[in-house]
C-alpha cells in the first residue's frame, strides 16, 4: 500500500513538472497557454490536442495507410461525451421517462449543437485549417469538439473529461430549459410535419464517393413524392439532416 501511495505522489509531481515545462519553457507554450484558457488546466501531452484539432479533410494518407487526423479521438470523445451527458440527465431529471432522456441527450450531442458550442467556446480558433478555412465542412467543428474530449480523456482520465464537459461547457454555455423547448432536429421536424399533413417522406442516397480519404454521401429527400431538399456529409445521417433543413425551409416549416 505504501508503495502505491509513494508512486502516486511521484506521478503527480512528474505531471506538475510536465505542466510547468509546457506552460513556460516548451516551443508550444503559446498554444498551451491559449488552450489552458479553454480547458481550465494545462495540457500534458500537447501532441494529442494538436491531433484533436486536425480535421481528416486536411490529411493525406501515409505510406503505411495510416492518417494523422482527429478521427480516432473523435470516436473516443463521442463515447465519453455520451456517457457523461447520459449520467447528468439521469440525475437532473429523476422523474422523466427514458424517451425524454434520450431526446435530450440527442439534442445535446447532435453535430449541429456541438458545432455551435465549439464556436461559442472558441474551439474553432485552434482548428488546423492549413490556410484553407473556407474548405472546412460544416461538421468539422463538432468533430473537433468530440476529438478534444477524447484527448482530455487520454491525457487526464475520465474524471477530468467529465469535469471539463460539465463545468466548462454545460454550466456556462448550455441552457437546458431552452433546449427542452427546441425541436430535436430538422429531420424530426420534417417527419412530424409530414405525418400531420399525411405526406410520405423518403430519403434517397443518390451518390457516394471518396473525398479526402473518406466517403462523402449525397442525399435527396422527397416529401409527398416531390424533391424537397439535398444534403451532403461524411455521415449519411448528417447528410439527411442537411437535406431535411433545406426541405423545412422550402416548405416553410
Active site residues: 78, 146
* Euclidean distance between CA atoms 230 and 212, whole angstroms: 21
How far is residue 201 from each of residues 122, 155, 190, 206, 224, measured CA to CA in Å?
A: 37, 45, 8, 16, 6
* Euclidean distance between CA atoms 163 and 145, whole angstroms: 15
**Residue 79, all three cell numbers:** 463515447
Element (H, E) at 98: helix 98-109
Helix (H/G/I), strand (E/B), else coil: 48: helix
Q: What number of residues does the chain have?
A: 253
Specify the DSSP class assigned to residue 60. Answer: P
* Euclidean distance between CA atoms 189 and 178, whole angstroms: 17
Specify the DSSP class assigned to residue 27. Answer: T
Amino acid at each position: 500500500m505504501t508503495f502505491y501511495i509513494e508512486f502516486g505522489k511521484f506521478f503527480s509531481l512528474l505531471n506538475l513538472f510536465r505542466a510547468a515545462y509546457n506552460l513556460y519553457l516548451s516551443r508550444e507554450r503559446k498554444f498551451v497557454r491559449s488552450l489552458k484558457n479553454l480547458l481550465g488546466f494545462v495540457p500534458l501531452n500537447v501532441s494529442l490536442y494538436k491531433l484533436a484539432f486536425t480535421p481528416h479533410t486536411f490529411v493525406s494518407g501515409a505510406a503505411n495507410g495510416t492518417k494523422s487526423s482527429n478521427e480516432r479521438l473523435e470516436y473516443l470523445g463521442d463515447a465519453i461525451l455520451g456517457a457523461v451527458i447520459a449520467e447528468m440527465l439521469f440525475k437532473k431529471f429523476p422523474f422523466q421517462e427514458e424517451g425524454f432522456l434520450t431526446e435530450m441527450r440527442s439534442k445535446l450531442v447532435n453535430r449541429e449543437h456541438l458545432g455551435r458550442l465549439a464556436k461559442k467556446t472558441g474551439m474553432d480558433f485552434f482548428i488546423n485549417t492549413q490556410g484553407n478555412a473556407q474548405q472546412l465542412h460544416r461538421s468539422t467543428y463538432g468533430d473537433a469538439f468530440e476529438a478534444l474530449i477524447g484527448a482530455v480523456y487520454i491525457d487526464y482520465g475520465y474524471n477530468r473529461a467529465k469535469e471539463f464537459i460539465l463545468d466548462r461547457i454545460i454550466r456556462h454555455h448550455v441552457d437546458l430549459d431552452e433546449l427542452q423547448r427546441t425541436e430535436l432536429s430538422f429531420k424530426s421536424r420534417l417527419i412530424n410535419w409530414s405525418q400531420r399533413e399525411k405526406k410520405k417522406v423518403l430519403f434517397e442516397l443518390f451518390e457516394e464517393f471518396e473525398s479526402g480519404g473518406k466517403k462523402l454521401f449525397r442525399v435527396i429527400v422527397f416529401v409527398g413524392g416531390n424533391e424537397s431538399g439535398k444534403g451532403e456529409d461524411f455521415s449519411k445521417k448528417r447528410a439527411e439532416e442537411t437535406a431535411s433543413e433545406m426541405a423545412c425551409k422550402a416548405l416553410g416549416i
